[in-house]
Chain A
Amino acid sequence: EAGVVQSPRYKIIEKKQPVAFWCNPISGHNTLYWYLQNLGQGPELLIRYENEEAVDDSQLPKDRFSAERLKGVDSTLKIQPAELGDSAVYLCASSLEDRNEQYFGPGTRLTVT
């Protein structure tokens, strides 16, 4: 069974440019998470989806970040415009509705110059 797929794996952009990340969760997992992970730190939740509904986006900087999961499967996370401080790894994870365990994708490493 395929795991959580993310693309791209790496992205380098100049500040003020837009960027988008894509995530395909494990088949059948209705819960999807986006995390931000800075170097040497643990993942921090940005947004959680239950199917297509964003049920927790309290940590998402809504002035520049947006996310969608239109059909309740794939999801995209967008930053517009990017700032230097956005350089980090963006992790996507998924889980079954009634299970605690989350499965992580390899992440997208974003570098903003």
Chain B
Amino acid sequence: GQNIDQPTEMTATEGAIVQINCTYQTSGFNGLFWYQQHAGEAPTFLSYNVLDGLEEKGRFSSFLSRSKGYSYLLLKELQMKDSASYLCAVSNDAGNMLTFGGGTRLMVKP
């Protein structure tokens, strides 16, 4: 079975840094995804980690520890437009199915 946990809500201040954690227990693993979803819109791809370590992409970075079943998404220099839900998703062994966590709703305040 698959179990993916992430905080329901987080609040941060514009210009600050925020870290959104995700823990998972899955029967198979072929990578972990982070998606961003603004209210009423489609989830959009942010990052993909399959090996341990940190992947940096502009203001966003994603970290993975496979032995701990743990990932985080780091958002730097927060902007108001970063207010959205952030979805953690784990891929199965075959790489053809994603199981999503419940999402973390991030609110960025001035």
Query: What is A's interface to B at a CB cutoff of 8 Å?
Result: 3-4, 31, 40-45, 48, 50, 56, 91, 95, 98-107, 109
Contact = CB atoms under 8 A, between A and B. Distances in A.
Given A91-B42, A107-B42, A43 B33 contact: no
Given A42-B89, A42-B103, 8 more contacts: A31-B96, A42-B100, A45-B98, A45-B99, A56-B97, A100-B98, A103-B45, A105-B42
Given A56-B97, A100-B33, A40 B42 contact: no
Contacts of A4: 42
Contacts of A43: 43, 87, 100
B96 A48 contact: yes
Interface of B: 4, 8, 30-31, 33, 35, 40-45, 48, 87, 89, 91, 95-103, 105
Chain A: interface secondary structure? loop
Nearest to B103: A42
A104 B44 contact: yes
A33 B1 CA distance: 20
Nearest to B104: A42
Contacts of B8: 40
A53 to B, nearest CB: 13
A31 B91 CA distance: 15
B42 A44 contact: no
A33 B43 CA distance: 13
Contact of B30 (A3, A44, A95, A100): A100
B44 A41 contact: no
Contact of B102 (A41, A50, A101): A41
Nearest to A4: B42
A109 B40 CA distance: 9
Contacts of A104: 35, 42-44
